[in-house]
Structure 1
Amino acid sequence: MTTTRPDLQAVTQSHTQVAILGAGPVGLMMANYLGQMGVEVVICEKLDTLIDYPRAIGIDDESLRTMQSVGLAEQVLPHTTPWHAMRFLTPKGRCFADIQPMTDEFGWSRRNAFIQPQVDAVMFKGLARFPNVSWRFSRELESFSQQPDGVTLNLKTPSGSREILHADWLVACDGGASTVRRTLNIPFEGKTAPNQWIVIDIANDPLGTPHIYLCCDPVRPYVSAALPHGIRRFEFMVMPGETEEQLRKPGPMRQLLSKVLPDPDNVELIRQRVYTHNARLAERFRVDRILLAGDAAHIMPVWQGQGYNSGMRDAFNLAWKLAMVVQGKARAGLLDTYQQERRDHARAMIDLSVMAGNVLAPPKRWHGVVRDGVTRVLNYLPPVKRYFLEMRFKPMPRYTRGALVAAEGQKNSPVGTMFIQPRVTLEGGEVVRLDEVIGPCFAILAWGNNPCWGLTKSQIAQWQALGCVFINVVAEVQIHQPQDNHPGVIRLGDTQNRIKTWFASQSDSVVVLRPDRFVALTAIPQTLAKKLTSLSCALQLITPVAAHTTPQTTAETEVA
């Protein structure tokens, strides 16, 4: 019998438009969006399967909207608990901060508990819908190089054979210890928390109470979280001198659980792990044809559940831009707006998570005494209570530059913020969420008017080529009256009166929505054509059409 040395075996070579390194949630979401847009994608993952142990436990409304954009929200919902409150408790059990926002401006519950491996599995299963998407597990990245027209990845298989994957673009979603980021020598500045935490997941929840509680105990702070499918998570701070090996032993484990359970021996332990909380941000998110996303670009403490959700924001922001560049609809410079828009908000979420951690476990014991006294007084002030209840402290993404046209001279402009997603009524009578009508592309939405009025035929053709949806929103009582119909324009009834209310707070009546549902510009019908030309430049479209061509009249306006 003859054998072949692995290092002498033939090297397999292949090509793809986009290579994604890492089959975590960010990589899976990127692949789903790119897949539905027809982009060729190969996912490379060093593990032999998806990670099966629980990690993140909180998914917000923005992330569910991202799931909706790739047609997976309904499959994800059974693995969530909506309207999940977060309550901070003093050592004596007094609730000094109750975070339970009940608003749904983006179409979904704002705070939700979830089981990450089950949701990751939904996203992975969703990839089977796209023949242009493939995946390779058990692939170790040995090296990579970048050329003017692409990136070359050298991969090692479990058998020791080599694969060379040529990609036009590489998205590195390879975690906080990113090989790609470190190889590129991109600084990853920030801090590592001085204390570790042990996470304990238990089946058949021995408490059964809903929501999540953060007990600010100065001796040993802990977290108690109810999760879907009868799982309870406890998190305890690891004290100086303790090790993971020690805490795994029956005695110390029983002592920990006795802090929260009357019978710590009668539990069905799933697993326990020790985590270190980091707060770090990459100096750059893009180096030519390589882009960083998720934990490879930023990592943050878990206390506001924003690590996972920030990664989802990265994926949604980057995926539609990358699809446009790959498909030749926009120049590569559009990808620079990814860092412009996402990095500052990632920093804000890191700061919020660090602050929440300091509230839970103050650096000094007297800080906790001050906290308890101040919060007792502030809790009697209704504005303060609303501030916590409605999560107004959470910095929402607001982009002031990038793939948008800033509103000059307007205070509190909605440009650069996420548009609402109310329920709307179709002409056939069906009531749906707004995004179900728009799909994965742009939308030009007008209140009570034809959104194409004043646009040139070439402008309409240009936005059609981008898959743009033209929408006229009217009062719901008008939706069944056909006289306001315009060819190629979708009419929607304002079921909840939210869209009219939104426009009533603005000075403009037309809004252009990006595929990630952020407002790219606002206008009135008479200024829309000119602003669309500016947006074409901001998006770096390959063939922007000027707005000086003679505009159509109302009678002439028609979407081909």
Structure 2
Amino acid sequence: MTADTIPVAVIGAGPTGLTAATLLGQYGIETLVLDRWQSVYPLPRAVHLDDEIYRLLTRLGIARQFATISRPAHGLRLLDRDLRVLAEFRRGADLGRHGHPEANMFDQPQLEALLRANLERHPAVTLRGNVDVTAVEQSGGGPVRVRLTDRSTSETSTVTARYVLGCDGANSLTRSTVGATMHDLAFAQRWLVVDVATDADLHQWDGVHQVCDPVRAATYMRISERRYRWEFQLLPGESADDYPDMTRLHPLIRPWTGDVPADELEIMRMAEYTFRAQIADHWRERRVFLLGDAAHLTPPFIGQGMGAGLRDAANLTWKLAAVLDGRLPEQVLDSYEAERKPHTRAMITLAKLVGTAMTAGGDTGSALRRMLAPHLHLVPGLSNRILDSRTPALRRSTLVDRRRLRRGLAGRLCPNAQLPDGQRFDDLAAGRFALVTSAAVTPALRAEVQDRGGVLVTASPGTALHRWLRRGRTVAALVRPDGTVQRTARDPKALRRLLPAPSPRRRT
């Protein structure tokens, strides 16, 4: 290995790549981010994230800035083709278990601008834009060579890295490099996606409006003070070219814009998208990993597409940092795909189910929705389930021990609970292993946890963490740096051996 080999190269500076690079930078891991765009990609795409991802943004250091560019969503309305309300599920103003609103609307270019600016706080991370990655090559167990072409000068060069993270989107070159193929999960719908800005007040309810129409399904949502998103399922033979301007578009959005003149509505983006459900057959080839849309595509009906990529980054980066520091063996990197792939597949399946329920069935489906939807709020617990932002537990792996309690805490996220001193759990854990316990601990155990780079968190009676442990029928939980419970025990001393060894001198 040469002195010019960098620890990590990240291909792609979208939300997933920027999140991965920031987390690596927080661990002091030298990281190079490569992207074909010199600045933020200007077109809006994702518009929703949940409280789990908001929690991750807090760890990245941009929660306060994100609050200024986002707005909580008030819930969900199901509408028929005539925009009559079939059912309504309202969210309250309370914060979720992660300390943030459970549903949040935003403009993706604004989020990416925050992530790029925040990256400058980490001297270990370098962002290089305006380059095309033309090849990713590896042989044996050695470093990875990434071949580049400068888009301004056409000059070519090569970067050598110990590990490469392919965050380069749905048309991923990295995916081709590792020989992975996308497995089609039998869902494809063509939609027209429209972003409009206006200073006019549309006088609409500020939740998500879902039109359940098998002919022309549609979604409306307010993104910010003056920006709105519409999505319309395209009819057979239609394309985005059929809506070249506001004159042609206006009849589609007028049910929401009402008397607002067309010249007061500015189209920010209008494009055709095919909503797909796909997942790569494998996410790793030796030292190259796939993250985000390079590894999976989720239909947008539950607003989890971008969040899945950020979960990938949170899951992999702490493991990679620990391997590079010599605190964990390289074999733990196998747990990335073992944990994330089943979780992602479950979320894709849910998104397909929701999309099908809202759009399928023809006239019969419409009649059933009109008959059943007004009574959904009477089903015990259904409203909470529809609005619940919790995602499935991770499957068993080398870093998730679920042997004892199938329904226990292992594999689930520790809540970002408020502590007696006003801090939240993440403030204290700060990207480290945390041993959470309601039992009395000895000074020796506390010192050992600290020597191993972890933190001991006392769950005092009456606190949210104490109630969480009791519901999980346990006394102690070892929480990983990504907030996931690795294992629980009746005796906190039984968990100390699972903490990584103290860090030796970093290898580069």
Structure 2 partner of 1:325: 323
- Kept after mapping to 2: 8 A contact 1:511/1:523: yes
Q: Please, which of 113, 123, 128 is the counterpart of residue 121 of structure 1? A: 113
Partners of 1:456 and 1:83 lie apart in 2 by: 42
- Kept after mapping to 2: 8 A contact 1:407/1:522: no
- Kept after mapping to 1: 8 A contact 2:73/2:208: no
Equivalent position SS for 1:403: coil
- Greater Cα shift, 202-211 or 347-356: 202-211
Structure 2 partner of 1:483: none
Q: Please, which of 389, 392, 400 is the counterpart of residue 404 of structure 1? A: 400
Q: Which has the larger radius of gyration?
A: 1
Structure 2 partner of 1:479: none
Letter in 1 for 2:184: G
Structure 2 partner of 1:420: 415
- Kept after mapping to 1: 8 A contact 2:24/2:318: yes
Partners of 2:96 and 2:385 lie apart in 1 by: 16
Structure 2 partner of 1:166: 160
Structure 2 partner of 1:515: 481
Structure 2 partner of 1:532: 496
Structure 2 partner of 1:257: 253
Q: Does 1:215 align with 2:215?
A: no
- Kept after mapping to 2: 8 A contact 1:189/1:281: yes
Partners of 1:383 and 1:43 lie apart in 2 by: 45
Q: Does 1:141 align with 2:141?
A: no
The unaligned stretches of length 5 or more in structure 2 are: none
**Aligned CA distance change for structure 1 residues 51 and 451 (closer, same or farther; 3 Å):** farther
- Kept after mapping to 2: 8 A contact 1:341/1:402: no
Q: How many residues align?
A: 494
TM-score by length of 1: 0.83
Q: For residue 192 of structure 1, report the CA deviation from its aligned partner.
A: 6.7
Letter in 2 for 1:28: L
Letter in 2 for 1:121: A
- Kept after mapping to 1: 8 A contact 2:452/2:502: no
Deviation per residue, 1:313-348 (Å, 9 max, x gap): 111101101111111111111110011110001001
**Higher relative contact order, chain-length normalized (CA < 8 Å, sep 6+):** 2
Letter in 1 for 2:38: D
Partners of 1:314 and 1:451 lie apart in 2 by: 36
Partners of 1:72 and 1:434 lie apart in 2 by: 17
- Greater Cα shift, 441-450 or 396-405: 396-405
The unaligned stretches of length 5 or more in structure 1 are: 1-12, 476-493, 544-560
Q: For residue 407 of structure 1, report the CA deviation from its aligned partner.
A: 4.4
Partners of 2:443 and 2:480 lie apart in 1 by: 17
Q: For residue 185 of structure 1, report the CA deviation from its aligned partner.
A: 2.0
- Kept after mapping to 1: 8 A contact 2:410/2:487: yes
Equivalent position SS for 2:222: strand
How many percent identity over aligned positions? Answer: 27
Structure 1 partner of 2:304: 306
Structure 1 partner of 2:429: 438
Q: Does 1:198 align with 2:192?
A: yes
Equivalent position SS for 1:310: helix
Partners of 2:80 and 2:501 lie apart in 1 by: 53
Partners of 1:46 and 1:500 lie apart in 2 by: 48
Cα root mean square deviation, aligned: 2.4
Deviation per residue, 1:48-102 (Å, 9 max, x gap): 2221221111111111111122222222221111254122222341232526375
Mapping of residues 136-535 of structure 1, within 5 Å = 136-147=128-139, 148-158=141-151, 159-191=153-185, 193-204=187-198, 206-209=201-204, 210-263=206-259, 265=262, 266-390=264-388, 395-408=391-404, 410-426=405-421, 431-450=422-441, 455=445, 460=448, 463-464=449-450, 466-475=452-461, 497-525=463-491, 528-533=492-497, 535=498
- Kept after mapping to 2: 8 A contact 1:449/1:473: no
- Kept after mapping to 2: 8 A contact 1:63/1:312: yes
Letter in 1 for 2:26: Q
Q: For residue 519 of structure 1, report the CA deviation from its aligned partner.
A: 0.8
Partners of 2:291 and 2:466 lie apart in 1 by: 36
Partners of 1:504 and 1:530 lie apart in 2 by: 18
Partners of 1:307 and 1:347 lie apart in 2 by: 12
Partners of 2:35 and 2:15 lie apart in 1 by: 12
Partners of 2:255 and 2:342 lie apart in 1 by: 39
